[in-house]
Amino acid sequence: MATPSSGTISLLDLRNNLGRTTDNDLGDYYKGGYSVGTNVGGAGSVPTSGALDLTDFYNLPQNLSYSQGTSPLVTSTGNPSNNPSLNLSSYLTGKQKSTGNTFTIVTLPNAGSFWAYYSNFVTTFTYGTAQTFTSPSTGGKSTYRRIKYDGGNTVDFFCYYSGSSTNYKESGCYLSEIRY
């Protein structure tokens, strides 16, 4: 859910959509702070200091979409892939960084990977709960993506494509979306 995209916006809208559970003022919502991480989708107009206006917060947060070339997390194309990590703290809102709230990560295979399927793998995590999700294997081959979340601010990816009949072909994946 996002703040209104036009018209009247209130501190309650900010609290409900971006975080904070107590009385607050606009100073709690500078970009790069707890409620609006530096990389939160749509936060480009939110200042890091100085004057703030409620209109700076229209339509926040917005889902983030990436290509393989712009993604903040890309595994190597090898078999198995490397196991890179991403610190999510700057990509999440204060609301999402509260125990029990959720965020969604979507991955796609890298270009040049030889996956049995080229599809999104959508995983929804609950902040404060360590979770690991593994995509279904397809075509009778051991091909999968594993997304692991530590329950705090770190997510890591691992991709695997195996089987002697596949000549252990290349694997790799990247973060294609963060959904709020």
Domain extents in the chain: 11-57, 64-179
Q: Determine the pLDDT at residue 138.
A: 62
Q: Determine the pLDDT at residue 35.
A: 93
Query: Would you give the end-to-end CA distance of the chain in angstroms?
Result: 7
Tens of pLDDT, residue by residue, the chain (180 residues): 799 999 999 999 999 999 877 767 788 899 999 999 999 999 999 999 999 999 999 999 999 999 999 999 998 877 777 889 999 999 999 999 999 999 999 999 888 776 655 688 999 999 999 999 998 876 666 678 899 999 999 999 988 876 655 555 677 889 999 999
Please work out, in degrees rounded to the nearest 5, the angle formed at the alpha carbon of residue 86 by the alpha carbons of 129 and 43. Answer: 95
Q: How far is CA 109 from CA 53, 84, 117, 161, 179, in A?
A: 41, 15, 9, 11, 18
For the question of whether the overall pTM of this predicted structure is more than 0.75, the answer is: yes
Q: Determine the pLDDT at residue 172.
A: 84
Instruction: Report the C-alpha gap between 86 and 64 in whole angstroms.
Output: 15
Q: Determine the pLDDT at residue 112.
A: 73
Indicate the helix (H) or strand (E) that contains 125: strand 121-126
Nearest-CA neighbor of 31 among 96, 97, 93, 101? 93
Q: Determine the pLDDT at residue 155.
A: 97
